[in-house]
Structure formats: C-alpha cells, structure tokens
C-alpha cells in the first residue's frame, strides 16, 4: 500500500473549497500542491503536513504527530501525523489549516528540468 486512499479522499473533500490545488504522486505517496507549492500529502496511513517552522516544535506535541524523516535526518517544518491525529474531521482540518497558513509564505521548490 503506497498511501491510504481513504485519507486521500478525506483530504480532497476539505480541499474542494479551494482552487489551485493539484495532486501529484511523489515520495511513495500522494502530494497536494497548493499554488504550486507542496502543502500536504498522504504517505501510507499518515498525513504529511508542511507547516511553519516557527510552530513546528509545538505541533510535534499534538497527538499522532512526529517529525518527517525519510533519510535519517528529520526535515524541519515537515511532519507526519498518524491516524490517531487525523481520525476525525476537526483534527484533520487542523493540520490542513496549519499547512495552508504556511503555504501563503512558503517558497515554491525550484523546477527541475
């Protein structure tokens, strides 16, 4: 299983109120790009959220949240949130709202070409 289709569908349901959302398969999962910038993703049963580094340490204290670590080195500002932290719409919306808040000031990745 590359990613939870059920979680992806719940994310889609929240994002349907926005324009400029694009889905891309990457990093073994599904990533939701907002205004051309990585915002959230689904990897296995986890939500990946790109959040403001200024609130990162506080966010890590929330239920189900842990640093995103693909390479042995956690990526500051990126967090995985397990099912215990996204189980209801209120919790999932909290993480998506945090990611959308940061998305406004995040820089887009440079296109590889």
| Fold entry, domain 5-103 | 3.90.1150
- Give residue-wise pLDDT tens across range 72-93: 888 889 999 999 999 999 999 9
Check whether 68 has a pLDDT greater than 70: yes
| pTM reported for the whole predicted model | 0.91
Q: Where are the domains of the chain?
A: 5-103
Which band of pLDDT confidence, cut at 50, 70 and 90, is reported for residue 109? Answer: confident
Check whether 111 has a pLDDT greater than 80: no
pLDDT, residue 76, reads: 85
With beta carbons less than 8 A apart as the criterion, state whether 60 and 76 touch: no
pLDDT, residue 28, reads: 82
Buried/exposed code over 61-94 (b: 16+ C-beta within 10 A; e: otherwise)? eeebbeebeeeeebeebbbbbeeebbeeeebbeb
- Give residue-wise pLDDT tens across range 29-66: 999 999 999 999 999 999 999 999 999 999 999 999 99
pLDDT, residue 71, reads: 79
């Amino acid at each position: 299983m590359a990613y939870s289709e059920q979680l992806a569908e719940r994310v889609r349901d929240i994002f349907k109120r926005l324009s400029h959302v694009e889905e891309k398969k990457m990093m073994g999962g599904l990533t939701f790009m907002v205004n051309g910038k990585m915002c959230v993703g689904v990897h296995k049963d986890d939500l990946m959220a790109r959040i403001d580094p200024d609130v990162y340490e506080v966010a890590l204290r929330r239920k189900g949240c842990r640093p995103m670590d693909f390479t042995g080195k956690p990526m500051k500002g990126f967090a995985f949130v397990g099912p215990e932290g996204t189980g209801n719409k209120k919790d999932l919306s909290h993480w998506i709202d945090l990611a959308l808040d940061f998305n406004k000031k995040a820089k887009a990745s440079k296109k590889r070409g």
